[in-house]
């Protein structure tokens, strides 16, 4: 990849380019998270309908329980921002996956995913959310070699992005038990007196 990338930097390179110096926004102490909590927030990559679908999908995958879920963690807003700066191919894959979920929803229930009842949303997604194995009845070879399920692939992509967005948020960090402090040391390691083998 670099063999292509390096010569490609040559022609693109110009002596007139500004000499970069200075600090990253993080090192300047900027809080980059405020863009997501802006009261006038609007999607910049997905359209309003896709945004609603994304909110519904993320909340089914990571729901509000005794802790906040994906909607409150603004998973849709972070993914909208993230997708806005991704390569076109990745953007296309994401939109294809979202469209696939919606078209399956239309096929099965005659309506968009965001408008389904919670039970139907779960019913639609669950088969894609677990690994497949050959039939219990016949254990035929061919059931083990069936091509990867398209729905599973689309769903996996969306689920992993939603998980990244949720667990990467402040709400997600707290869901994992984070107390807001940065140091909990020193590391004490294995406390067992016997051996481990």
**Scanning residues 37 to 96, which ones bind other proteins (CB under 8 A)?**
60-63, 65, 67, 78, 81-82, 85-86
- Determine the distance from the C-alpha atom of residue 79 to the mean position of all C-alpha atoms in its chain, rounded to a whole number: 7
Q: Which of 41, 105, 131, 141 binds other proteins (CB under 8 A)?
A: 131
Q: Which span (41-49, 99-107, 139-147, 174-182) binds other proteins, by CB under 8 A?
A: 174-182
* Nearer CB in complex with other proteins: 65/138: 65
Using rule CB under 8 A, residue 27 touches other proteins: yes
Least CB distance to other proteins at residue 68 (A): 11
* Nearer CB in complex with other proteins: 123/139: 123
Least CB distance to other proteins at residue 24 (A): 5
Number of residues that bind other proteins (CB under 8 A): 77
Q: Which of 37, 103, 135, 160 binds other proteins (CB under 8 A)?
A: 160
Burial class (CB in 10 A: 0-12, 13-18, 19+), 75: buried
**Pick from 171, 130, 133, 134: which is nearest to 33 by CA?**
171
DSSP labels for 49-108? HHHHHHHHHHHHHS--SSS--TTTTTHHHHHHHHHHTS-HHHHHHHHHHHHHHHHHHHHH
At CA 66, angle to CA 151 and CA 129, rounded to 5?
15
Omega prior to 185 cis, within 30 of 0 = no
Least CB distance to other proteins at residue 80 (A): 12
């Amino acid at each position: 990849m670099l063999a292509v990338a390096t010569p490609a930097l040559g022609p693109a390179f110009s002596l007139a380019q500004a000499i970069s110096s200075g600090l990253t926004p993080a090192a300047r102490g900027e809080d980059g998270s405020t863009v997501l909590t802006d009261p006038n927030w609007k999607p910049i990559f997905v359209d309003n309908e896709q945004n609603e679908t994304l909110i519904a999908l993320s909340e089914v995958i990571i729901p509000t329980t005794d802790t906040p879920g994906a909607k409150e963690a603004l998973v849709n807003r972070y993914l909208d921002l993230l997708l806005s700066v991704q390569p076109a191919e990745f953007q296309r894959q994401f939109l294809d996956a979202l469209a696939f979920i919606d078209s399956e929803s239309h096929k099965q229930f005659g309506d968009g995913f965001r408008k389904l009842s919670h039970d139907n949303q779960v019913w639609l997604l669950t088969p894609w959310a677990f690994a497949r194995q050959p039939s219990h009845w016949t254990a035929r070879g061919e059931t083990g070699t069936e091509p990867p399920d398209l729905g599973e692939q689309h769903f996996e992509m969306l689920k992993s992005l939603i998980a990244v967005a949720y667990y990467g948020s402040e709400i997600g960090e707290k869901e994992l038990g984070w107390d807001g402090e940065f140091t909990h040391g020193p590391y004490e390691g294995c406390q067992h007196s016997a051996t481990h083998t």
